Homo-oligomer: A and B are copies of this chain.
Amino acid sequence: MNVGVLGTGMVGSAIASRLVALGHEVRMGSREAGNEKAREWVLGAGPNASEGAFADAAAFGELVFNCTAGEHSIAALEQAGAANLAGKVLVDVANVLDFSGGRPPAVGVGTKDSLGEQIQRAFPDAKVVKALNTMNCDVMVDPTKVPGEHDVFICGEDGDAKAQVAGVLREFGWPAEHIVDLGGISAARGTELYVALWLNLWGVVGSGRFNIALVR
């Protein structure tokens, strides 16, 4: 499958590399084609990897990942272009962090909205699925990095879109029974606000090599 990955940071690189390793064709997008990090990534990732502007990557992808910093995601997606996202599944992995009060940052979208919802409202013709934003990127793409059973959360308005994303998550190694569908896109509030606890837990564990499990 052709996949567009927006963002050249750790999250974008991890997801793009994993997708290439799984046999997908991946175009990494950034503000301008020729971005240094994106070119480096292409060199390392091989013939199924390419890079371009946000719009190039979004147009290329049948499926698009938003791996930009949450504070800039709406602007990046506007550059990607609503027409290049229309009808497509847009996996939103981003979190908005507010460092204005120092570290650890606060969650940046307040408690009555979420980035996932903001993106869905701004791009009504995209099928937004919030996923993977509750863990470190090396765990996102390889859940065995954390031993034992633990969970990834998805939510969104479109059932077929969520099923497609669940399929990609299974390719990443997530067992079907550990992909937890939280419902509509407003559940992104829960997974985005959880990042505050995740930051505390990072302090307890001393690294990002952890996750949470729903125990019932």
Task: Give A contacts to B, CB under 8 Å.
Answer: 98, 101, 106-112, 146-150, 153, 155, 180-183, 187, 189-191, 193-194, 196-201, 203-205, 209-216
Contact present for A148 and B107 (CB under 8 Å): no
Q: Which residues of B contact A212 (CB under 8 A)?
A: 212-215
* Docked CA distance A101–B153 (Å): 24
The 8 closest A-B pairs by CB, nearest first: A190-B197, A210-B216, A193-B193, A190-B200, A150-B215, A190-B196, A182-B200, A213-B213
* Docked CA distance A149–B148 (Å): 12
> Can you list 14 A-B pairs with a CB-CB distance of less than 8 A?
A107-B193, A111-B193, A146-B216, A153-B197, A182-B201, A182-B203, A183-B200, A183-B203, A190-B198, A193-B193, A194-B197, A210-B214, A210-B216, A211-B215
Contact present for B197 and A180 (CB under 8 Å): no
* Docked CA distance A112–B107 (Å): 8
Q: Which residues of B contact A204 (CB under 8 A)?
A: 180-183, 214
* Docked CA distance A146–B200 (Å): 24
Dominant secondary structure of chain A at its interface with chain B: mixed
Known: A182-B203, A194-B194. Contact between A149 and B111, CB under 8 A? no
A15 → B minimal CB distance (Å): 21
Most B Cβ at <10 Å: residue of A110, A197, A198, A209: A197
* Docked CA distance A147–B215 (Å): 8
* Docked CA distance A194–B214 (Å): 13
